[in-house]
Amino acid sequence: MIISVASGKGGTGKTTISVNIALSIKKVKFIDADVEEPNAHIFLKPEIKKTYKVNTLYPEIDYNKCTFCGECAKACAFNALAVANNKVLVFKELCHGCGLCSYVCPEKAISEIERNVGIVRHG
């Protein structure tokens, strides 16, 4: 049997309901996929067996190759790049790691590097 509690406004009791259902079932796999506040572990107190880092990619500019043409910024659907005054500003928090900027760069001046965005705990 699969039971899923999803969506809804914050503070409606999704975690409370989910945790109590999980505690009332013998064998359960519980996934707290809340992007903003995954906090079911506070109530379930699992024994953490494995921890994994979660990384995403973001652009790094090679200023020896960049001509500041702005193609990268034009292509970015998330406005994570801006070109001004012979500088490319990279807004890491806006970047979705799709790699389009490096693909469209005519000078191949953009490479992608990893940054840590969180951790996954298995318990």
Q: Identify which has the larger pLDDT, 121 or 72.
A: 72
The architecture of the domain spanning 52-121 is 2-Layer Sandwich (3.30)
Q: What pLDDT, on a 0 to 100 scale, did the predictor assign at position 13? A: 87
Q: Report the pLDDT value the prediction gives residue 35, as an integer from 0 to 100.
A: 80
CB-CB contact of 60 with 54 (8 Å):
no
Using the 8-state DSSP alphabet, how is residue 12 labeled? S
**pLDDT tens figures, 19-53:** 999 999 988 999 998 888 889 999 999 999 999 99
Q: Convert 18-52 into a string of H (helix), E (strand) and C (coil).
A: HHHHHHHCCCCCCCCCCCCCCCCHHHHCCCCCEEE
**pLDDT (tens digit per residue) in 55-98:** 999 999 999 999 999 999 999 999 999 999 999 999 999 999 99
pTM over 0.85: no
Q: Which residue ranges make up each domain of the chain? A: 1-46, 52-121
CB 96 within 8 A of CB 26: no
Q: How far apart are CA 46 and CA 48, in angstroms?
A: 6
